[in-house]
Amino acid sequence: MKLDVNGVVRDVDASPEMPLLWVLRDLLGLTGTKYGCGMAQCGACTVHIDGKPARSCVLPVSSVGTRKVTTIEGLSPDGSHVVQQAWAQADVVQCGYCQSGQIMTAVALLEQKPDPSDADIDAALSGNVCRCGTYVRVREAVILASRLKRGGK
């Protein structure tokens, strides 16, 4: 089957039932998307499907079809995406395991709501689990990214 990942159409030899997560990690070598729970409960496996966040651990690759998949690697080749920059400035990362899913969810939120409230941020990111408890810094980074995206400092 063909799969459009990060703007490149790739031939993938995978079982139709294989979760997208394992296609990305094992077949395509894109290991930025993490395995957390395997039940779509923690958010570590979040990618974008046509710009919307999706849990790749439970999404059969055959269900993707011609839709565009974006992984954390596809946001920017050098980590210069505004949300990634805000993450670094706010010093969000502790262990880092959940961060790709958190960032992908935050990017989708800011596309829908360029100036989200704290409640919007909390609601959007409530499905992303951080074992280190960096939730306050995550919210700060989303607010900073929102400001930066809108031209502020």
pLDDT digits (tens, 9 = 90+) for 51-60: 999 999 999 9
Contact 100, 131 (CB under 8 A): no
At 116, phi and psi to the nearest 5?
Answer: -75, 150
Residue tagged 């990690």 (tokens): 25
pTM over 0.85: yes
Cα 149 to Cα 5, 69, 119, 144: the distances in Å are 24, 23, 19, 8
Contact 3, 10 (CB under 8 A): yes
pLDDT digits (tens, 9 = 90+) for 87-128: 999 999 999 899 999 999 999 999 999 999 999 999 999 999
Residue tagged 């505004």 (tokens): 82
